[in-house]
Amino acid sequence: MQSNLFFYTFRNNCLLKQSPNGTPTSIKVLDNVVSGFSLKPCALSEIGCHMDLFQQLAFSDVDVARVVTPDALVCRTICTYRANCLFFTFHTNEWDVESERRV
């Protein structure tokens, strides 16, 4: 638990996530967040992949890591290259809790 508190005290973090079925088990409408999917499937797919960033939506499931990033695009890049990351949620600068902004 103490390590989780350590990460929450820093800004510029993105939440890297995974789920058993590869997609979020829950999607919530939430102000000041951006969510998206890893681009790993883009390299393997002939029909395309989810490249959109979803404004005001929070993807819920198991957090596999919290990473310091300047924005959602860098968050997505890190998710793409991390083996167990399938999707992510990034808290913007406008997020209500200052210590979690850009998380």
Report pTM.
0.77
Q: pLDDT tens for residues 7-63?
A: 344 456 789 999 998 889 999 998 888 999 998 888 776 666 778 899 999 998 899
Q: DSSP letters of 19-44?
A: -TTSS-SEEEEEEEEEEEE-SHHHHH
More confident residue, 97 or 46: 97
Check residue 11 and report its DSSP letter: S
